[in-house]
Amino acid sequence: MRDVERPHALPSGLRNEGEGPAGRRRYRDVRYSRWRLVVELDGRAVHPEDKRELDDLRDNEVCLQGERTLRYGWRSVIGARCLVAGQVGAGLRAGGWPGRPVACGVGCSAPTTETLAVAI
């Protein structure tokens, strides 16, 4: 996510922050506490398809705590960084962040990605 945040002037989120009681500790991949946004990054090793329902339950728990979750696979973070930056920026703005993502270069779509309904 640093390769998404830095080039697009997004704030840095807290990485792998633990929460919950000992023995039931959960870790969020990236949390923007001030703007009530959690970004989860799914890789095949840690997030196999047969465990996807557990991810859904965790996302629902975040929602019930008044936060929002954006979830990405590694391919999106590597191959569609600008779109991911635009969506994260939109999520941050929905939580009150006053900034906007900036273009990382020519053809960057991050500053114009204001909705999650993006055709790839």
The chain-wide mean pLDDT, for the chain, equals: 82
**pTM of the entire predicted model:** 0.79
Amino acid at 85: A
At 41-67, the pLDDT tens digits run: 986 555 556 666 676 677 677 777 888
At 4-14, the pLDDT tens digits run: 999 999 999 99
Q: Check residue 51 and report its DSSP letter.
A: G
Structure tokens belonging to residue 30: 């990236």
Q: Determine the Cα angle at 116 with ends 114 and 120, to 5°.
A: 100
At 65-106, the pLDDT tens digits run: 888 989 898 888 888 999 999 999 999 999 999 999 999 999
Q: Is 120 helix (H, G, I), strand (E, B) or coil?
A: coil
Q: Is 14 helix (H, G, I), strand (E, B) or coil?
A: strand
Q: Where are the domains of the chain?
A: 2-112
